[in-house]
Chains A and B, each alone.
Chain A
Amino acid sequence: MRALRAFVLGAAATGVLAYAAAAVAAGLAQAQDGLLDVHVGALVVVRVASDGASTVTTFGPGLLVASAIGGLLNALGAAWLARRARRRPPMA
């Protein structure tokens, strides 16, 4: 149960952070009339494209992958901290 909680919280936190970073990057790119294409492997994280008349910002599935990785790392961190706490000798 603790592992699941840690995964969910870590995934939510990483998702929010990744989305915030992508939104800021997209905002800056749009302000400078530039293009942006951030992807992890084949998965798009954020893409800013212009067709001349308008600019389109797309948030892709890369954000979900980043969330899942963050959740996994948080769960591993929680497991490591819990194990370390169990090994610590009781206070005299």
Chain B
Amino acid sequence: MDTTGRKIRVLLSKCVQDGHESALRYIAQTMRDAGMEVIYMRHELIGDVIKTASEEDVDVIGLQYFGAGLMYEVPTLMNMLKERKMDDIKVVLGGTITPDEKKTLKEMGVAEVFLPSQGRVIDIPDVIKGLVG
């Protein structure tokens, strides 16, 4: 819960074309176990994420990238969030992302990037709680 007693609401999504599922699904379970509300979706276009985030009034958007689309979809998403004044939503990313890409993505305003070498999913809810405060 955040300071007002409301449960932290997290939107988790991956591109609908990507079949990799186990990590994101396990993260969803881990976040629910940590008391968060998780909305799980698959997006066809990155704009779909904005729509759901707005409807569901989420605090955090978490996206998975196991390959293609990262350096196209994330900048698009960050711009759209700014344009719609939704940039109080924290964006976190995970997947096959390099340390160099992490730096670039954080410069774009991404709140946190979990690299594949991190290895522990169990720590992620605390990081999220820290971001939302």
Do these two chains interact?
no
